[in-house]
Amino acid sequence: MEGELTTTVRSLHIPGSLSQERQKALARIAELSGENVSECMQCGTCSAVCPMVESMGMTTRQGIHYLQFGLVERVIDARIGEFCASCHTCQVRCPRGIEVPKVFEAVRLLALRQNEDLITIGAIPKETIAGAPQIAMVSTFRKLTA
Ligand code: SF4
Ligand code: SF4
């Protein structure tokens, strides 16, 4: 089974016990991010230092754990990709050297490739639009719309 999947990420461990669908999802995350989530030892450091973790539907450690089993949809549903601010704090503290923001960026891209916007522009209060810096609005639309 593993031989049928291709990924540029060296030493990515894809459990043979996973369904083909989950194996492909795990390989896809590796290809898009260039990172090997199977190296995560679940220490939780990334969750402890993440400034956005309270807004996410699960901790970053949990997100990586679900991805180790190819459960990308669970991580998409937890909106980690949307709320990750790409501050890189987790990356510099990860004892395994995993570039966690790249992993969650891959999750966000997979969500957008389902052609679903991750934000409802019409629901943004007018006061927010009037008060927010234009660059913030533009980058939000670029990040969260398909
Ligand atoms: S890069 Fe994203 S996941 Fe990592 S600490 Fe910053 S907000 Fe959290
Ligand atoms: S800090 Fe690194 S090794 Fe620890 S849980 Fe997060 S991704 Fe895994």
Helices in the chain by DSSP H: which ranges? 20-33, 45-49, 60-68, 72-77, 80-83, 89-93, 100-112, 126-131, 134-144
If you take atom 2 of ligand 1, which residue's CA is the nearest one?
Answer: 84
pLDDT number for residue 2: 45
12: left (phi over 0), alpha (psi -120 to 50) or beta: beta
Residue written as tokens 């990924």? 7
Q: What is the residue extent of each domain of the chain?
A: 2-114, 120-146
Of 13-17, 45-49, 120-124, which has the strongest mean pLDDT?
45-49
Tell me if 108 sits within 8 A of 56, measured CB to CB: no
Residue 49 CA, ligand 1 centroid: distance in Å: 8
**Contact assessment for residue 118 and residue 108, using Cβ atoms and an 8 Å cutoff:** yes
Mean pLDDT of the 41-57 span? 97
Of 52 and 16, more confident: 52
pLDDT at 11 over 80: no
Contacts with 38 (C-beta within 8 Å, 6 or more apart), sequence order: 11, 12, 13, 14, 68
Write out residues with Cβ below 6 Å of ligand 1.
Answer: 46, 49-52, 60, 84-90, 100-101, 104
C-beta 103 within 6 A of ligand 2? no
Q: What is the pLDDT of residues 88-143, one digit of tens each?
A: 999 999 999 999 999 999 999 998 888 777 778 888 888 988 888 888 888 888 88
Q: Is 95 in the pocket of ligand 2 (CB under 6 A)?
A: yes
Please give the model's pTM, rounded to 2 decimal places: 0.84
Mutate to test the pocket of ligand 1, among 100, 102, 103, 143 (most ligand atoms within 8 A of CB): 100
The arithmetic mean of pLDDT across residues 64-70, rounded, is 96
The CATH class that applies to domain 2-114 reads mainly alpha
- 3-class SS of residue 12: coil
Ligand closest in space to the Cα of 42: 2
**Mutual angle of helices 60-68 and 100-112, in 10-degree steps:** 70
Determine the residue of 38, 40, 52 to mutate for testing ligand 2's pocket, defined as the one with the most ligand atoms within 8 A of the Cβ atom.
40
| Segment holding 37, helix H or strand E | none
For residue 8, pLDDT beyond 80? no
Distance CA 85, CA 50 (A): 9
Residue 88's CB is within 10 A of a number of other CB atoms, namely 12
